[in-house]
Each structure stands twice: as structure tokens, then as C-alpha cells.
Amino acid sequence: MWKKAGLVAFFFFLVFGLDIRAQQENETDERPLINVKKGLSFSKDSLFQLNLRFRMQNRASAFSRAGNDLGVDRFDFRVRRLRLRFDGYLLNPKIAYYIQLSFSKNDLDLENGGLIPQPIRDAMVYYFFHDNFYLGFGQSKLPGNRQRVNSSGNMQLPDRSIANNRLTLDRDFGFFGYWKIPLGKPYLRLKGAVSTGDGRNASDIDEGLAYTLRAEYFPLGSFANNGAYSEGDLEFEPKPKLAVALGGHFNHRANRAGGTFGQELTHPNDVRALMADMSFKWQGWSLNAEYLYKHARVSGQPGVPPLIGQAWLFQAGRMLGKKSELVLRYAGWRPDAQVQWRYIAEDEYGLSYTYYINGHRIKCQGFLGYRSFDQRPALDAPRNFWQLTFQVEFGI
């Protein structure tokens, strides 16, 4: 095995012969961490490095019987997420890897009737031509909307919005590329992927593939501590910082309702998606907005149709001090007219308070939310309910 790895590495060195610069810590799930300040790190000369980190989210929630009835309909106490992360390099820092394993019931895809546990979330091998350009092969998040790309550990609220949950792209297996183009102080970041289109740990193979491209523009330069990929202005940016992005996705012969996630479709379908988002931070204020759109032609035959339609998110936060933050959220989802017989419109309103003990690594969060359906926000409308959540994030 080592001989084969050595031959692969030698081939890359012969063809490209480039020197890699020190890789900066990046709190996204899109690249390995080499220069880590937290966690456990093991290394031997320049032959290998292994960084080990963990995190967990413990959650307690209560849901009301109705919008106008605050009696408890159900409780939800659980380990929402429990994950181990390994990353580093082998033979040379140019050849890096990133592995993430999950152990909670939700992370194992057992919540919605799945029969086979899925512990593998990320399994990637990267080759760094230089710090601004690198390629990856394996399973990872597709370069979709910002809230999905951001780690679930870097959220201002206990969980992502319904807009993300309905129309995101999620993880897939394939080839990935990342390219940062400096334009003076501003810069452009391009991300692309050619993947199976069937989601993580897929076992079925067909002739269809998925193609994803995302372009991010930073007109005011870099965010402090790579804050473009974490929510909330914990760094108290002294000058305004802005990131805007646009992405597209085509999944040929998708087999699942969400393209790369969800129930199995009765009939394979071609799914197209557009995504636009922005992130703004300044002096403790933060604003995030997203718009997502998915389209497919529905045959009208009985069975599970694709999750298509449009969704949006608006989220504003204000740091009340160095350790605490108040956040407001509104998100909405409208299914396409072709699938309204199966899916119902939803709106989400939320207020959250977070106390950061050690940044996003150790924090306590309280969330009060209201969910309405079928574009009927009145308290007495059917299905509407309140949600109260307390969550502790703990990790290194």
C-alpha cells in the first residue's frame, strides 16, 4: 500500500513540482485542518500528521399542541450530533485527507425509516497545487448554499432553517475543485464538483451524474478568522465585510426526492437548482440571506415526487457583548405547483440567544420558534405550533 501511495505522490511531484504554502485553519467541512490550535495532533517528521477533534450537540425541545394551545404535544430530548473528525496529511503536506464519522441516530440516517446506519459523513483525499488551488476526491458536501457549507457547529441557532432542509444539495461522492483568485484586496472563490448525484454512501449506480458550480465574491476582502464560513460576528469586524455567492446544480437522473437525500423517487428525474446567498458582518452585527430554487418535470404518475420549489432565509444577529448574541430568523418554503398535492408550504419564525463560552466550540443556545403551514400564520390555523429548544455544543 505504501509503495502505491509513494508512486502516486511521486507522479504528482513530477508533473506539478509545486511548493505548498502553510495551510490556514479553515472551519468549513471543505478542506483538512493542518495548522490546528485546538484538538489533538500527532506527527512524525514530514511523513504524516493526524489531527483529532470531536464535538457533540445535546438538545432538549418541547413542541406545543397548536399555535393557540401552549400545552406540550411532545418532548424531544436527544444527542442531536456526535462526531469525530480526523484530518492531516500523508507523505507530504500536499497530499491531505479529511474524515468525519457520525454516531447519533439522526446523523446515521435512521430518523426517517432508514434501515442501514450511515456513519461516514466525509471521506476525502486532497491534492494541494498551492494554497489557493486544490482538488479533492471522495465524499463531502457539495458546494451549495452557504448555510449548508457552513459547519453545523458554527450555527447561530441550534439548527439550520427549513429553507436549507427542503432544497439544499447535501453530501455526495465525486471529484471536487477549489480555486481562490486574488483581485487585489477583493477576491473570487470558485468551487465545483462532478459527483454521483445519489448522496452519501449511495449503493445504486446509474448513468446519471451531478454537476455543481459555485462562485463567491468578497468585495471588501477577507473576514477575520475566516468568518465568512461561520455565523455571527464573534470577531467584531472593525470594517464592513461582505460575501455574495451564486451557484448552479444539475442532477441527471436523480433517484431521491431531494436529489442527494430524501426518499427514493418512483421514477428517476433530472433536477436543476439555483442558489444565491450573502453574508455581511460589521461591529458585532451580522446578516445572512439565501434564496434557493429547484425545478424538475414531474410525470404526474403516482409515487414519491421530487422536492422542488423555492425557499428563502433571512437571519440577523447582534452580539450583546463578547460572549452573548441575539438572533432573529425568518425562512419560508413554497413547493412547486406540480407537487403541492404531496408537499405543503411552510414558514419559520425564530428568536435565539447564544452564550459563547469558547466561541462556537463550546456554547449554550436557547431558541423560541413558531412554524406555520399552508401560508396561514394565524395562531388558530391547523398544524401550526411553537417550539422551545435548549442546546449545548461541546467540542474541540
Specify the pLDDT at position 112: 62
- Rounded Cα–Cα distance for residues 217 and 336 (Å): 30
Q: What is the pTM of this model?
A: 0.88
- Give the 3-state secondary structure of residue 370: strand
Q: CB under 8 Å to 216, separation ≥6 — which residues?
A: 188, 189, 190, 191, 228, 243, 244, 245
Specify the pLDDT at position 301: 74
Strand partners, 7: none
Cβ-based neighbour number of residue 139 at 10 Å:
23
Nearest alpha carbon to residue 291 among 245, 337, 240 = 245
| Burial letters 185-203, b for 16+ CB under 10 A, else e | eebebebbbebbbbbbbbe
3-state helix/strand/coil string of 127-162: EEEECCEEEEEEEEECCCCHHHHECHHHCCCCCCCH
Q: Provide the strand spans (E) within the chain.
A: 40-44, 48-66, 69-90, 92-102, 120-130, 133-141, 171-182, 187-195, 210-218, 241-256, 264-282, 285-295, 309-319, 324-335, 346-358, 362-373, 385-395
Instruction: Take residue 70 and report the three cell numbers written for it.
Output: 401552549
- Rounded Cα–Cα distance for residues 351 and 371 (Å): 12
Instruction: State the amino acid at position 321 in one-letter form.
Output: G
- Rounded Cα–Cα distance for residues 154 and 63 (Å): 24
Q: Would you state the torsion angle of the CA atoms of residues 347, 213, 200, 6, taken in this order, to the nearest 10 degrees?
A: -150
Q: Note whether 275 and 292 are within 8 A (CB).
A: yes
Cβ neighbourhood burial of 276 (10 Å; 0-12, 13-18, 19+): middle
Specify the pLDDT at position 29: 56
- Rounded Cα–Cα distance for residues 179 and 226 (Å): 16
Low-confidence ranges of the chain (pLDDT < 70): 1-31, 33-39, 112-115, 204-205
In order, the DSSP letters of 239-294 are S-EEEEEEEEEEEEEEEETTBSSSSEEEEEEEEEEEEEEEEEEETTEEEEEEEEEE
Quickly name the fold that domain 55-82+140-395 has. Porin (2.40.160)
Nearest alpha carbon to residue 286 among 225, 349, 223 = 223
